[in-house]
Amino acid sequence: MEFNLFMDDIVQSARNEISQAGYDELKTTEEVRTALEKEGTTLVMVNSTCGCAGGGVARPAAASAIHYDKRPDQLVTVFAGQDREATELARQYFEGYQPSSPSFALLKDGKIQKMVERHEIEGHSPVEVVNKLQELFDEYCDEL
């Protein structure tokens, strides 16, 4: 029982951290479908409880990267291992990429453009991940 309470606290902290950064949580398949089929650019952060998600890399990079001259029209997140159906549907939009968490997917008009996968996050600094995301923003997003 104590382990479950501990894990619930970790999950809620991870949810809060990315939501406070300005990302909308997608917990249902309907929310995923509605968000990912919108016109424009969408950054999807696939959140998780692993160390590289919150251990000073993925979520902090997600929060920092969006303070830039260009950024996606929409910022959303799904939570791997928690909101399973929503995450599974989101991953169907990431055609050509293996499931990876944490990760970031940049979509334009509902179509995957590029991803920053776990192997590009784990073992890297937050600044390196921010730079990767901002390179995608430069390539695919409009100026604010």
**Quick one: which H or E segment has residue 56?**
none
Give the dihedral of Cα atoms 101, 28, 72, 122; nearest 10 deg. -10
Which residue in the list 35, 45, 50, 62 is annotated as catalytic?
Answer: 50
Q: Are 62 and 24 in contact (CB under 8 A)?
A: no
Which residue in the list 36, 45, 46, 52 is annotated as catalytic?
Answer: 52
Residue type at position 12? Q
Is 141 one of the annotated active-site residues of the chain? no
Query: Which of helix, strand or coil describes residue 108?
Result: strand
Cα separation, 77 vs 63, in Å, equals 12
User: Interhelix angle for 58-65 vs 2-20, to 10°?
Assistant: 20
Catalytic residues, which ones? 50, 52
